[in-house]
Amino acid sequence: MPDWLLTGILILAKLGFVFFLLLTGAAYLVLLERKLLGRMQLRYGPNRVGPFGLLQPMADAVKLITKEDFIPSQADRVLFFIAPGIAAVTALLTFAVVPFGPPITLFGRQVPLVICDLNIGVLYFLGLSSLAVYGVTLGGWASNSKYALLGSIRALAQLISYELSMGLAIVPVVLMARSFSLTDIVNAQATVPFAVLNPVAFLIFLISILAESKRTPFDLPEAENEIVAGFHTEYSGMRFGLFFLGEYINVIILSSMMTVFFLGGWHGPLLPGIVWFFIKVMLVAFFFIWTRGTLPRFRYDQLMHFGWKVLVPAALANVMITGAILLLLE
């Protein structure tokens, strides 16, 4: 077998594996969320389709695909078409830089368990999460509905505000790891995860990814009891499904980022690395769901106040202090 063919096959296999895992993971995260929220409210959650409701994602997909695809008469059709795609694709693309396991040896060669080990992986992640705002904003704007527009304005303002503190919370991680590559960041946490070394950055990042994924207590862009469904009010069928999928893939991505930046990635005793990575991602995802079951929604001015007057100054101060300490330790 020629060398280039083997390389191609390995890349395709990795791509297929990640793609399959991400999509089924997002589908089952929906089920997990519905189940856990149900248990928190002393209900069972979905348990009719298949054993323990395990086929519920399939039923949901069939329902979404066979539903009427409705386009409002005054909508901007082109933007209305591409907005859900942007939301889903940007979420999917981000996973390309996530290292989900230690390098393994296959057919006598080292295969790193990451699709593309970019040396500027952190910037790639930040850039794509900024691009994801376009999906939400354009979708809300193109729907020609005041609720959708209000939702997208909120999403825009909120995501930009919280991206700032999220980016600033990663800066100490980059300082400590001395690299923008996610693989190097994970390797720098081989002994102690950064969540222990820099708990302030960890907390700021945790709060920021809750806002970044538009989930409670920061789910103002789609606040049901204020603006119907926010930016996806006018979407139905699989277009809504793409927004939904994008949101849950985003939860997985942000959980993986949390794992990579602060929880030590695949490092852990006894179990193989990929299992540790999976466990950590699931723990962070559980925290997302747990928060949704616990905290009520912020008011909009509280959200902005908290973001600009608390998180950003705290993150800035944290960058300065971390930098100073690192300089002293040299």
Candidates 42-50, 148-156, 170-178, 239-247; binding stretch for other proteins (CB under 8 A): 42-50
- 20 or 44: whose CB is closer to other proteins? 44
Minimum Å distance from CB 48 to other proteins? Answer: 9
Q: What are phi and psi of 257, to 5 degrees?
A: -65, -40
d(CA 194, CA 101): 18
Minimum Å distance from CB 82 to other proteins? Answer: 38
Minimum Å distance from CB 143 to other proteins? Answer: 34
Contact 25, 252 (CB under 8 A): yes
Q: Which of 43, 63, 109, 299 binds other proteins (CB under 8 A)?
A: 43
Minimum Å distance from CB 131 to other proteins? Answer: 32
Candidates 40-48, 83-91, 101-109, 258-266; binding stretch for other proteins (CB under 8 A): 40-48
Say whether residue 36 binds other proteins (CB under 8 A).
yes
Question: Which residues are within 8 A (CB) of 200 and not within 5 positions of it... i.e. 6 or more apart?
Answer: 314, 318
Give Cα 185 to chain centroid, integer Å: 18
Say whether residue 112 binds other proteins (CB under 8 A).
no
- 20 or 290: whose CB is closer to other proteins? 290
Q: What are phi and psi of 98, to 5 degrees?
A: -80, 120
Contact 64, 123 (CB under 8 A): no
Tokens 């959200």 -> residue? 303
Minimum Å distance from CB 294 to other proteins? Answer: 5
- 261 or 306: whose CB is closer to other proteins? 306
- 40 or 131: whose CB is closer to other proteins? 40
The residue count for binding other proteins (CB under 8 A) is: 14
Candidates 22-30, 127-135, 201-209, 291-299; binding stretch for other proteins (CB under 8 A): 291-299
Bridge partner residues of 104 (DSSP): 111
Q: Is 140 exposed, middle or buried (0-12, 13-18, 19+ CB in 10 A)?
A: buried
DSSP 43: S
Say whether residue 70 binds other proteins (CB under 8 A).
no
Minimum Å distance from CB 193 to other proteins? Answer: 22
Minimum Å distance from CB 291 to other proteins? Answer: 8
Minimum Å distance from CB 43 to other proteins? Answer: 5
In terms of Cα–Cα distance, which of 225, 222, 236, 84 is closest to 155? 222
Q: Which of 41, 73, 105, 225 binds other proteins (CB under 8 A)?
A: 41
Say whether residue 282 binds other proteins (CB under 8 A).
no
C-alpha distances in angstroms, 327 versus 185, 201, 295, 316, 323? 19, 18, 39, 17, 6
Give Cα 143 to chain centroid, integer Å: 25
- 14 or 292: whose CB is closer to other proteins? 292
Say whether residue 293 binds other proteins (CB under 8 A).
yes
Q: Which of 74, 290, 305, 313 binds other proteins (CB under 8 A)?
A: 290
- 188 or 314: whose CB is closer to other proteins? 314
Looking at the chain, list the stretches that DSSP marks H as alpha helix, in order from N- to C-terminal side: 3-40, 56-66, 77-94, 121-142, 146-177, 182-188, 194-197, 199-212, 224-227, 237-261, 273-294, 300-305, 312-329
Say whether residue 52 binds other proteins (CB under 8 A).
no
Tokens 């300089």 -> residue? 327
Which residues are near other proteins by CB under 8 A?
Answer: 36, 38-44, 47, 290-291, 293-295
